[in-house]
Amino acid sequence: MKIQAYLSFKGNCQEALKFYGDLFDAKIVNRQTYEDKKIDVPSSYANKLQHAELKGKNIHFMAYDASPDTPLNSGNQCHMSIEASDNNEGKTLFESLSEGGKVHHNYREREWGYFGRCTDKFGIDWMVNHNQ
């Protein structure tokens, strides 16, 4: 069995995947636009991503731009969780992810190790951990 996240965006999926790809040294693969799939959407939305995947050494998730007629509400039902290799990596990732977003819990030492939680500038919730 394999379980992975599938993220939904409001028209800025390509921008978000580029940001995450640069941050996590990952590549956008299996990139398909609404135009590629010949799905009936407004012409201004044809070049938006109907499906894409971000793949790297320790990351793989799928994402898309929800079509304009699909209600998409920000919520907290899903968090992306990162287990950093060391404290410096955790701190750097947290600072990058929270820039332009919202910090819910500062990245700092806790009873189990280091932890921080934020919502990034694309509305995606992240938890960054490093267990000592």
Q: Report the C-alpha gap between 51 and 33 in whole angstroms.
A: 7
**Could you tell me the domains of the chain?**
6-65 (3.10.180.10), 79-131 (3.30.720.110)
Q: Report the C-alpha gap between 98 and 112 in whole angstroms.
A: 22
User: What's the pLDDT score for residue 112?
Assistant: 87
User: What's the pLDDT score for residue 132?
Assistant: 75
User: What's the pLDDT score for residue 17?
Assistant: 98
**Exposure of 42 by Cβ count < 10 A (0-12 exposed, 13-18 middle, 19+ buried)?**
exposed
DSSP letters, 6-38, are: EEEESS-HHHHHHHHHHHHTEEEEEEEETTTTT
User: What's the pLDDT score for residue 102?
Assistant: 96
User: What pLDDT tens digit does each residue of the chain (132 aa) get?
Assistant: 677 899 999 999 999 999 999 999 999 999 999 988 878 888 889 999 999 999 999 999 999 998 888 888 777 678 899 999 999 999 999 999 999 999 999 999 998 899 999 999 999 999 999 987
